Amino acid sequence: LGSGFLAQVCCQTSLHPQSLVTMRAAAIGLSLAYACCLAIVTLIGFSAITTGIVLLIEGDNYGDTAADLNPQKDFSKLPESCVIEDVIHSYREEEDGYGHHCYDDYSYIFSYQGSRYRSRGNAALRYDGVCSGSQRRSPVFVVGEEVSCWEPNVRPVAIQYNCGNDMCYKIFDPENEVEIAKDTGDAMEAAGLSSLLSGILCCCCCAPAVLFAGKKRGHASGPPMPGMHGGPQAAVVLPDQHGKGPQGQVVQGRVIGQVQGA
């Protein structure tokens, strides 16, 4: 200063206690958010692993059972033909992540010796896209058509034969049903393997990544740096050039020096 006074004052900014509480609450909230994310990712991973194991076991059992079936022994062709009485149609759209797919679903009401029965459903891919504006697939059978029928020789009938009615009278060849069941078992195993690998990837890669990010964030918002806490404060008033009065500037901080004369 012009008067020869040398002010050796170090002013150190300090945070208000309420600000510290707010920062601490934010850090705790962020930690809880990371913990919730970690729990969700881990839960998804274990769910996918469990689903994959179940599908692998069920698919293998379903396919192996179908391979052991003997449709020529298990079913016999009925001596008379069945007559298609009605055709039931519906359609649906599915989305698998690659696009939309439109399917036509058919089932048939047929009669045999005066009694009416319903067949199993028969799905056919109509179009790789939305159903709107597309033409539906033609049914396998039409009303009034006479078709071959089969009846089971064994009870209970294996689920792989996909019976559409309690008597398990069929208008679809049982040998084809076995081939469809084998393909279904293979598809279940493929889906199970995909789910299992996705779950393992989620648990071994995604969950540790979330945990690491949470720890890194925790270190970044850890204990405050020295001096960033509350403490005794003082108002330092600097004299003017004549040493007779305040200069008009007040600095808040901790006084660690002293004012000396020149």
17-to-10, 62, 222 alpha-carbon distances in Å: 21, 67, 16
**Cα first-last separation, the chain:** 10
Cα–Cα distance, 197 to 121 (Å, whole number): 32
- Predicted confidence (pLDDT) at residue 158 exceeds the cutoff of 50: yes
Do residues 165 and 86 touch, judged by C-beta distance below 8 A?
no
Predicted confidence (pLDDT) per residue in 166-220, tens digit = 999 999 999 999 998 899 889 899 999 988 888 888 777 765 665 555 555 555 5
Could you tell me the residue ranges of all domains in the chain? 6-15+226-260, 70-175
52-to-16, 62, 185 alpha-carbon distances in Å: 54, 15, 13
Cα–Cα distance, 175 to 5 (Å, whole number): 108
Topology (CATH level 3) of domain 70-175: Topoisomerase I; domain 3 (2.70.20)
Predicted confidence (pLDDT) per residue in 133-153, tens digit = 889 999 999 999 999 999 999
pLDDT band at residue 20 using 50, 70 and 90 as cut-offs? low
pTM of the model: 0.59
Predicted confidence (pLDDT) per residue in 86-116, tens digit = 999 999 999 887 889 999 999 999 999 999 9
